[in-house]
């Protein structure tokens, strides 16, 4: 998947009739998981080159939709996807972006702890994102199952960027809680539809994804992280060292994703700051301050 191209005029027409002025319940009408986005029913998600996108780059954005975190999906629909595509196309840190959206929850308590759209390059990604179920669960058990996204990316996605060019895509998870450390054998079977001989640790799940993606996590200041940031960061640093971003202003999610891709692709931090407003540049500098930008990119060159 990944046909078509993002066009700001198309977005403005769509948003005027279907997005702007609508409540979260109006934007997201699903009351159960759609079979099309059930990872147990998905054999593979593909990001392939085409005449429209000859050098495709897959980008996965997985957002926590538990509890108060439903606003992240809303932010992506109302502002984030248009800003992400527009800035990726304008700033060109990578070629021909294909975006997949994921909804993330708790693999121990939720009915739908992972949902995954197709990779798309145009408005179809917004329509699919709006079809995801914002379950709003979470188990109150000190974490969420973000590692399901890593396992899915490593086991159930394929892309031409890697197969043809040995280039990794990008995978961002976004949320405010600690990460449950890994994926259990039962979760592999029930959530992912994978017959695994054993569960995996968080580090092993990240390793699965890191074969094909540069992996990052963005901590946002939701109700949990706002008071226990050190705890949240420590859980992530154990499995994803030096790839953890703390974003205090969730409205800058798109800019953070784009800037991280720019920095990971070798651009100078001062050059990345150019083109953003001074306020936005300050937010991004604080968010990415701990990332080791010199020579860290894993792609073969």
Where do the structural domains in the chain lie, given as residue ranges?
8-287
Say what the pLDDT of residue 67 is. 86
104: left (phi over 0), alpha (psi -120 to 50) or beta: beta
User: If we measure between CA atoms, which residue out of 58, 59, 75 comes closest to residue 254?
Assistant: 75
Residue 6 makes CB contacts below 8 A (sequence gap 6+) with 82, 85, 86, 89, 97, 121, 122, 123
Q: Which fold has domain 8-287?
A: Rossmann fold (3.40.50)
Tokens encoding 22: 């609508």
Say what the pLDDT of residue 295 is. 47
First-to-last alpha carbon distance for the chain, in angstroms, is 26
Say what the pLDDT of residue 57 is. 97
Packing angle of the helix pair 8-18, 81-91 (nearest 10 deg): 170
Residue 266: how many other CB atoms lie within 10 Å:
14
pTM for the model stands at 0.95
Say what the pLDDT of residue 301 is. 34
- Show pLDDT as tens, one digit a residue, over the chain (301 residues): 667 899 999 999 999 999 999 999 999 999 999 999 999 999 999 999 999 999 999 999 999 999 878 889 999 999 999 999 999 999 999 999 999 999 999 999 999 999 999 999 999 999 999 999 999 998 788 899 999 999 999 999 999 999 999 999 999 999 999 999 999 999 999 999 999 999 999 999 999 999 999 999 999 988 788 889 999 999 999 999 999 999 999 999 999 999 999 999 888 888 888 889 999 999 999 999 888 755 455 544 3
Say what the pLDDT of residue 155 is. 98
Do 105 and 114 meet the contact criterion of CB atoms below 8 Å apart?
yes
């Amino acid at each position: 998947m990944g046909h078509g191209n993002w066009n700001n005029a198309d977005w403005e027409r769509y948003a005027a009739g279907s997005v702007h002025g609508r409540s979260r319940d109006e934007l997201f009408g699903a009351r159960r998981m759609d079979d099309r986005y059930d990872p147990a029913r998905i054999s593979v998600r593909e990001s392939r080159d085409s005449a429209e996108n000859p050098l495709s780059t897959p980008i996965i954005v997985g957002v926590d939709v538990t509890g108060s975190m439903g606003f992240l999906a809303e932010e992506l629909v109302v502002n984030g996807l248009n800003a992400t595509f527009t800035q990726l196309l304008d700033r060109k840190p990578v070629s021909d972006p294909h975006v997949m959206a994921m909804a993330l929850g708790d693999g121990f308590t939720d009915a739908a702890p992972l949902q995954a759209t197709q990779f798309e390059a145009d408005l179809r990604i917004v329509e699919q994102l709006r079809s995801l179920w914002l379950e709003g669960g979470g188990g109150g058990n000190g974490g969420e199952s973000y590692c399901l996204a890593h396992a899915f990316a490593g086991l159930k996605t394929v892309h031409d960027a890697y197969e043809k060019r040995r280039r990794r895509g990008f995978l961002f998870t976004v949320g405010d809680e600690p990460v449950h450390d890994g994926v259990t054998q039962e979760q592999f079977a029930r959530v992912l539809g994978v017959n695994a001989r054993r569960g995996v640790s968080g580090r092993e799940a990240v390793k699965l994804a890191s074969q094909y993606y540069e992996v990052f996590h963005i901590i946002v200041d939701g109700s949990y992280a706002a008071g226990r940031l050190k705890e949240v960061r420590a859980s992530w640093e154990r499995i994803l060292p030096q790839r953890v971003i703390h974003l205090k202003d969730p409205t800058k999610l798109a800019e953070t994703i784009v800037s991280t891709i720019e920095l990971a692709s070798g651009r100078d931090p001062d050059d990345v700051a150019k083109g953003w407003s001074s306020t936005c540049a300050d937010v991004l500098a604080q968010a990415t301050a701990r990332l080791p930008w010199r020579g860290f990119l894993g792609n073969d060159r």
